[in-house]
Amino acid sequence: MKFLPYRLTILVLSAAFCLPLTLVAQTAQDAARLITDSIPKPKKQSTPIFGPLPPTTKRFDRAAAEWGLAQVIPFSYGKFIAHAPYSNVTGATIWRNLNPGSWQWDKDIFRTNQFGHPYQGSLYFSAFRTNGYSFWQSAPAAVAGSYFWETFGENERPSPNDFVNTSFGGIVLGEMSYRLSNKIVNNRHTGFGRQMEEIAAFLTNPMNGLNRLLEGKWGRVYGNPKDRDSSQVSAEFDLGARTFNSLTGTVGGNKKTGIFGRAKLIYGSRYKDYHTPFSNIMINVEMGKDDSSAVNVISVYGSLAGWELQSNKDLKHLAILSANYDYISNEAFFYGAQSVKFNLFSQYEAGKKVKFNTNIGTGPVLLAAVPSTYSTNGRNYDYTSGFSVNGGAGIVVNNKFFASFDYRGGWLYTVNGNKSHYFLHTITSEVRYAWSKKLSLAAEPGYFFLRGNYKDHDDVNKRYPYVRLSTRYSVDF
């Protein structure tokens, strides 16, 4: 359809300018969307009629230069504009940082560690990914970029948390933004709409936008590649009201109510592509009126590998290994994590009008920032590692009525901070009625429970109940 790219442009612009938790992402309803092979076969494309396509080759020199640019620009800003203390790098600090024994956990604020560093890592990854290198070939660039910055880019000691967040989080955010930026631009479009596509793609992945400029692709009309990404992108936009609370033990909290907006994208490909990293991606961005931050949730799930276990008319099973990046920040609760999970998605058809879907999963949480009642090392959160489990079920009736119930649980052991461990339990549910294919009403009650067991302090139990009511608009691209 002619106008679909412009809808996608509006979506990405809204997400880019604002630029759930492993324990709240991938609900039973999401599982149904993942397992349904509803993606149409790509239309047969003719030979490009607007001129030859630029060759796709690996450009190491340009990739290395852009990788270095991602180091130089933030360093120069900190050194010459912001005059940040961390930028006072000397030969002595570099020599100290080269010593493996110099590493120590830092005390930066939550937003810097859990979002700023992963975003910076995505630029290192994208420098190579947008210059002809594959997902796995580009991943070392994020790791190398993280180490180089920790050693040469600041005078503080290298920190393990920054290294993990920048490397793993950078790979997840980098591949996600690379695929979306390529999906946005249609090289056959012209005029104002085409420029909006180019700008949105640039904001989504600056490295990809920079290379389009260098290669003369920006705004130039030519035939789309024969293997142009035909993956379907489904989007959901919610606008409504939410209320949340924070309760400690039996003490009542401070209830908050306000307006919120949410955008969820589900990018998917055929079963045959499940072996390709990030052939299926889920992105959840939530914004709302809040005293602590405008952006409350950024959650990215990307498939690393997948297996179709069974598929027939009445029953489908898919096993997917996924990489996950999660960032939650609101007045009641905050949490950030990098994790890997093995998921089993199933769908059962009980007649023509009723479908059941289930999902179960488990996997290691590589590194998570968990809010702590007792500050330590200058932070109000502890760094933890552990594992998570999940399970959920949902029902769809006549494609009109949707209901789901999901549980997420995690056991997290503190690796830096208080001598402690945490149990995080989440119960989420949703009831939705679709008035049409695109418009529906949704109610989402949920409950977080965080139990902190401390060796040197009293244990703390915190509860975070919430309710969301919204109008949802759904569209497929």
Q: Please tell me whether residues 98 and 201 are part of one structural domain.
A: yes
3-class DSSP state of 380: strand
**According to the model, what pLDDT value does residue 4 have?**
38
Domain stops at, among 181, 214, 247: 214
Q: Is residue 32 part of a domain?
A: no
Q: Please tell me whether residues 467 and 359 are part of one structural domain.
A: yes
**According to the model, what pLDDT value does residue 123 have?**
98
User: What is the pLDDT confidence band of residue 439, given thresholds at 50, 70 and 90?
Assistant: very high
Give the predicted TM-score (pTM) of the model.
0.88
Q: Is residue 377 part of a domain?
A: yes
The answer, yes or no, to whether residue 2 has pLDDT greater than 80, is no
Total tally of structural domains belonging to the chain: 2
**Residue 7 corresponds to which amino acid?**
R
Domain stops at, among 214, 249, 282: 214
Model confidence over 242-285: pLDDT tens digits?
Answer: 988 877 765 556 778 889 999 999 998 655 678 889 999 999 99
**According to the model, what pLDDT value does residue 41 have?**
39
The answer, yes or no, to whether residue 12 has pLDDT greater than 80, is no
Model confidence over 105-127: pLDDT tens digits?
Answer: 999 999 999 999 999 999 999 99
Does residue 234 or residue 28 have the better pLDDT? 234
C-alpha span between 471 and 444 (Å, rounded): 11
**According to the model, what pLDDT value does residue 188 have?**
87
Q: Please tell me whether residues 179 and 127 are part of one structural domain.
A: yes
User: What is the pLDDT confidence band of residue 213, given thresholds at 50, 70 and 90?
Assistant: very high
C-alpha span between 170 and 434 (Å, rounded): 37
The answer, yes or no, to whether residue 206 has pLDDT greater than 50, is yes
The answer, yes or no, to whether residue 237 has pLDDT greater than 70, is yes
Which residue is listed with tokens 């119960």?
Answer: 427
Residues whose CB falls within 8 Å of the CB of residue 363, separated by 6 or more in sequence, listed in order = 339, 340, 341, 342, 387, 388
Mean pLDDT score, 367-386: 94
Domain stops at, among 214, 245, 264: 214
Q: Please tell me whether residues 256 and 387 are part of one structural domain.
A: yes
**According to the model, what pLDDT value does residue 312 have?**
73
Terminal Cα distance for the chain, rounded: 9
Residues whose CB falls within 8 Å of the CB of residue 217, separated by 6 or more in sequence, listed in order = 54, 187
Q: Is residue 359 part of a domain?
A: yes
Q: Is residue 23 part of a domain?
A: no
Mean pLDDT score, 138-148: 98
Q: Is residue 100 part of a domain?
A: yes
Model confidence over 159-183: pLDDT tens digits?
Answer: 999 999 999 999 999 999 999 999 8
**According to the model, what pLDDT value does residue 293 have?**
62
DSSP string, 415-445: EESSSEEEEEEEEEEEEEEESSSSEEEEEEE
The answer, yes or no, to whether residue 391 has pLDDT greater than 90, is yes
Q: What is the CATH number of the domain that holds 457?
A: 2.40.160
The answer, yes or no, to whether residue 316 has pLDDT greater than 90, is no
**According to the model, what pLDDT value does residue 326 have?**
94
**According to the model, what pLDDT value does residue 272 have?**
61
Q: Please tell me whether residues 339 and 440 are part of one structural domain.
A: yes
Selection from 79-83, 221-225, 257-261, 269-273 with the highest mean pLDDT: 79-83
Domain residues for the domain of 380 are 231-476
Q: Please tell me whether residues 375 and 470 are part of one structural domain.
A: yes
Query: Ramachandran region of residue 473, left (φ > 0), alpha (ψ -120 to 50) or beta?
Result: beta
Q: Is residue 8 part of a domain?
A: no
Among the residues of 87-205, which ranges form H helices? 91-98, 110-111, 117-129, 135-148, 160-164, 170-184, 191-204
**According to the model, what pLDDT value does residue 52 have?**
39
Q: Please tell me whether residues 354 and 462 are part of one structural domain.
A: yes
Mean pLDDT score, 81-101: 95
Q: Please tell me whether residues 345 and 471 are part of one structural domain.
A: yes
Q: Please tell me whether residues 208 and 236 are part of one structural domain.
A: no
C-alpha span between 22 and 44 (Å, rounded): 39
Model confidence over 18-74: pLDDT tens digits?
Answer: 333 334 445 656 655 555 443 333 444 433 333 334 446 899 999 999 999 999 999
Could you give the percent of the chain with pLDDT greater than 90? 68
Mean pLDDT score, 423-434: 95
Q: Is residue 40 part of a domain?
A: no
Half-sphere exposure (CA, 13 Å, Cβ side) for 111?
9
**According to the model, what pLDDT value does residue 256 have?**
81
Q: Please tell me whether residues 308 and 451 are part of one structural domain.
A: yes
Model confidence over 321-344: pLDDT tens digits?
Answer: 999 999 998 777 899 999 999 999
Q: Is residue 336 part of a domain?
A: yes
Mean pLDDT score, 374-401: 94
Across the chain, mean pLDDT equals 86
**According to the model, what pLDDT value does residue 377 have?**
86
Q: Please tell me whether residues 252 and 164 are part of one structural domain.
A: no
Q: Please tell me whether residues 200 and 254 are part of one structural domain.
A: no
**According to the model, what pLDDT value does residue 38 have?**
39
